[in-house]
Structure 1
Amino acid sequence: MSSTRERIMALLAANSDSYISGQSISDQLKISRTAVWKQMKVLKEDGYLIEAIPNKGYRIISTPTKLSENTLQWGLNTNWLGKSIEFFEEIDSTQTKANILAQQGCNHGTVVIANKQEAGRGRMNRTWYSNNEDGIWMSIVLRPKVLPAHAPQFTLLTGTVLADVLSKKTELDIRIKWPNDLFIGDKKVAGILTEMQAEQDQIQHLVIGIGINVNQLTSELPDEIINKATSLREETSHVYSIRELIQAVLHAFEKAYDRYLDTGFSEIKTNWENRGYKMNENVTYHSGNVQSQGIIKGINEDGALLVQNSHNQIITLYSAEIDW
């Protein structure tokens, strides 16, 4: 159920071109006029510009640009995703916090978002540079009723969602590098980290971490990644609204997730392969201590990479390191 504040925000949004009286809000939400006034005060402290005129009521004039639980939920018209948002100005890692919340029994669709991460992390315990307010750093808690073997499909689903959203917002050609990165040209712009707690036949929870470089300049990136990473701003010379991008991702993710549960993985597989980085190109890969070459042909139902080797055989790679 939505909180009182969320319902007040929804009423203000629905009446953004007119005034809504405190009495009307009180009646519709079944709360006191004093409670309405207190909630308005909190919203104003959060940066909302709210006009209050006697005998007319309240009207929203403008919303703040800074991130908060309130601003993130303003205009977020999802059914279940992001109904519970945990926002932090600064945190060690949204992924760590989301895992803790998941273990404590938080709701399916809970989202953890931070302005800055002190210890952002990616796949294989690699560091993700996110100690700034210029990107999207968030983690989503999911409790899908699917077998644990299907968990890798959610990483691929997330990749297609991010690629679709970012392509629409920027008109850039966003590519998905197996298994969990998004590239513009040959530089990384976003990454995905999926972690799971499961029993043999049941997923207890998934936590999907998402990091997107949005408004950073190349000059602000650490020296060790300056030639490997980029941002939306760097590629388009445009400064983006972090809030609007987060909401666009959450909207698209919920829709794709629900569709996946209804129709299965085939549509995601096709979308991924249409956006795959270096699809049908020759790459060098390392499996164990063996180095080989092959042509990337797509992905399997279980999220593995399909490669055609020098003998024209299609082999399946689950954990190989690839020289991209």
Structure 2
Amino acid sequence: MGEHVRLDNRVMALKMLFDNLGKLTPSSAIAGELGVTRQGISKMVGILRDEGIPISSVPHKGYVLEGPPGEDRFSPSWAEMLLWDCPLGHPILHFERIESTQNPVKDLAQKGHPEGVTAVADRQTMGRGRRDRRWESPEGGLYASVLLRPPILPGHVQMVNLACAMAMGDAIEARCGIKVDIKWPNDLLVGGRKLCGMLSEGAVEADRVHHIVAGIGVNIKGSPTIQDSPQDVTSIAEEGGTLVARHDLLAFFLRSLKHHIGILCEDRKAFINSYRGRCSTLGRRIVVSSDSGTLEGVAEDVEDEGSLLIRTSTGLLRFSAGDVRHVRPIKGGEGE
């Protein structure tokens, strides 16, 4: 992924205010840096205020950023500002209500939009998981999709799911103070209950990956209803974690995702070894449900392309997709 990031003037103005937090930033400095009029600055500040960002004005002098937006409001401009030097998260499209954040990003991907565009919704009415399982996504969670165009082979697409799991695990542990387990391939669990789910969809040919749209759903204040799911769910609030603002959590996730995909592209063995060390499925007796049926066995390894190896009564089997349920670890510990 390229490092050059082109920001909207509104986000650049916010970054200037942020770098001078709590102090006066002269209108002349903003106008000179961005090449806009004072009237243009006033319009941009109005948009930022509408997003809940507290900016005060000093007549004929300039503006003062008083602090971050409130935790209950999602500010796309604030998230983009936090990602000022990261190629992911530009632009961020914010919807109060949408069927699924996957839809607008997939549309833009098919039109050739560059990597990084992200959609965020306060609520999804038709969120989807693996095997087209439907999610009822209430307000208070983080629901987002990001467009990726990684330079990887089609056989390595599964690895992007693993990168998303590690990236969101990083974000939740760092910003919310909760230790999460990764259940293969990319569910995040706390005490055996699902905290975050992910879905990746892509356009792939035999010799190239055109794009991948990675969607995430994090339960922050409440737990969603998941159609026909055998998995219990939980939320950051239920687990006593810090209720961080969604724009902060999203920005941390996208930065970490860029990092992990960078490792994937540069050193695939190091990437998969990192994932193996964080995957709580390994060493457990598990039940796997796929289109071909259900079986039970012991999860032995994650292969270099991301497939799960399972030791069953009939031998060693390989799964590239499927629903996994943890039964119990092989040595010690409690089952899930």
TM-score by length of 2: 0.86
Q: Does 1:239 align with 2:246?
A: no
Mapped contact 2:194–2:231 kept (Cα < 8 A): no
The match for 1:316 is 318
Q: CA deviation at 1:323?
A: 4.4
Q: What RMSD in Å do the two structures reach over aligned CA positions? A: 2.4
Q: Once the 2 structures are TM-superposed, how far is the Cα of residue 69 of structure 1 from its aligned partner?
A: 2.1
1:143 to 149, 153, 157: 149
**Map 1:152-163 → 2, pairs under 5 A:** 152-163=158-169
Q: Report the AA paired with residue 212 of structure 2.
A: L
2-structure distance, mates of 1:156, 1:118: 26
Amino acid at match of 2:139: E
Q: Against the structure 1 CA distance between its residues 203 and 55, is the aligned structure 2 distance closer, same or farther, given a 3 Å change threshold?
A: same
In the other structure, the counterpart of 1:269 is: 272
Contact 1:295 / 1:309 at 8 angstroms: preserved in 2? yes
Amino acid at match of 1:143: R
- Distance of 2:235 and 2:76 partners within structure 1: 25
Which digits, 9 at most, give the CA deviation of each residue in 1:172-205, with x for residues without a partner?
Answer: 3311112231111111111111111122211111
- 2:173 aligned partner: 167
Equivalent in 30, 34, 47 of residue 29 of structure 1: 34
Q: Secondary structure at the match of 1:234?
A: coil
Alpha-carbon distance in structure 1 between the residues aligned to 2:293 and 2:150: 36
Q: Does 1:114 align with 2:121?
A: yes
Amino acid at match of 1:23: S
2:286 corresponds to 1:283: yes
Residue aligned with 1:232, SS: coil
Question: Equivalents in 2 of 1:51, 1:321: separation in Å?
Answer: 51
1:255-266 map, 5 Å: 255-263=259-267, 265-266=268-269
Counterpart residue identity of residue 49, structure 1: P
2:209 to 176, 200, 203: 203
SS at match of 1:86: strand
CA contact (8 A) 1:307 1:314 kept: yes
Q: Does 1:183 align with 2:186?
A: no
Q: How far off is 1:62 after superposition?
A: 2.7
Aligned to 2:330: none
Q: CA deviation at 1:48?
A: 2.3
Q: CA offset at residue 243 of structure 1?
A: 1.9
Identity among equivalent positions (%) equals: 26
| Rounded Cα–Cα distance in structure 2 between residues aligned with 1:157 and 1:272 | 8
Q: 1:70-121: CA deviations, max 9, x gaps? A: 2322323342111211111111100122111111221201111111101000
Q: In proportion to residue count, which structure has more helix? A: 1
Aligned-pair CA distance for 1:135: 0.9
Q: Contact (CA 8 Å) 1:283, 1:323: kept in 2 or not?
A: yes
Moved more, 58-67 or 203-212: 58-67
Quote the residue 1:14 is aligned against.
19
Say which of 239, 251, 254 aligns to 1:250.
Answer: 254
TM-score normalised to the size of structure 1? 0.89
TM-superposed deviation, 1:226:
10
Shift of 1:314: 3.8
Of 219, 229, 233, the residue aligned with 1:229 is 233
Q: Measured at CA, do residues 319 and 146 of structure 1 come closer, stay the same or move farther in structure 2, by a change above 3 Å?
A: closer
CA distance in structure 2 between the partners assigned to 1:29 and 1:7 by the alignment: 8
Corresponding residue for 1:305? Answer: 308
Deviations 1:140-165 (A, max 9, x none): 10112222111111001111112222
Q: Which residue of 2 aligns with 1:89?
A: 96
CA contact (8 A) 1:78 1:254 kept: no
Partner of 2:52: 47
Mapped to 2, the partners of 1:198 and 1:320 lie a distance apart of 20
Q: Deviations over 1:235-264 (max 9, x none)?
A: 11643322211111112111222232222x
| Counterpart-to-counterpart distance in 2, 1:293 and 1:257 | 32
Structure 1: which 5+ residue stretches go unaligned?
A: none
Contact preservation (8 Å) 2:135, 2:225: no
- Shift in alpha-carbon separation, 1:2–1:237, aligned structure 2, 3 A: closer
